[in-house]
Structure 1
C-alpha cells in the first residue's frame, strides 16, 4: 500500500512554501450550443480546449505565518508566471489570477489563502523568472529578520 505522507511534495509558489487543504483542477472543451427557434435538436460546435485552472485552498500555520503570508502575497502579485508546485503534481509555470487571504479570530497563527492558478501553457517549466528568485530571497530574508527579532 502506498504511503501517501512520504510521496506528497511540499507545495510552493515562486519558492514560497505553504500547506494545501484542497486543490481542484478544471479543464475541458469549449462548446458552442446552436439552438434554433422551433427546433428540437441542438447543433454543438467544438471550439477548442477551455483554459485549464487550478483552484487551491492553501494555508500557513505557525509563529511566522504572518510573515509567510506577506511573502506569498508578494509572490502572487509578482509580474509574469511563477513555478507552482502542488503536493500531487510536478512543478509547472502558472499565473495566479486572483487570491483571497482569510484570518480568523479564534485561529491565531493560521492564515488561509485561496487562489486560482492558470498554467502558462507552452512555456518551458524549468525556467525560473526574476520574480521567483526575488520572492524566494525576500521571503527567506523576512523569515530570518522575524526570527532574529525574536531574540531581542
Structure 2
C-alpha cells in the first residue's frame, strides 16, 4: 500500500562464500549521503516486489546477479525529498551473489568486500551498519 509521502525501498546485503559482505561507496554526486559506504539499495518500481527490487538495485548498482536467501528485516528512515519530509520503509534481504565481477555506475565510486569484524574500517553510517547486522544476526 502506497501512502503519500512514504517510499518503499529494498536493500541487498550481499554475502559471499567467504562470509564477506559487499559495501559500495556512493558517488560524491549523490545528494543523499555522498561518499558514504553502504549496501546496494533503492526505491521500488510501481508494482515491484521487494525481493525483485533488491535484485534489480543490486544489478543496477554493482552489475552483480544474485538470489535472495531470505528477508532479514525491515528498517525505516526519514529523508528530505524536494523539500518534503518523506518516511522511507525498507525491506532488507540477504543475497547470495551469482556472479563475481562488480561494475559500478560512477567512476568515483568504490567497492570492498569485508568480514563482519572489519565493517567499521570504512565510513559506513549507523543505518547501513544496522542493516548489515540484521543480516548477520540471522545468517
TM-score normalised to structure 1 length: 0.27
Higher strand proportion: 1
* Rg larger for: 1
Larger RCO (CA under 8 A, 6+ residues apart): 2
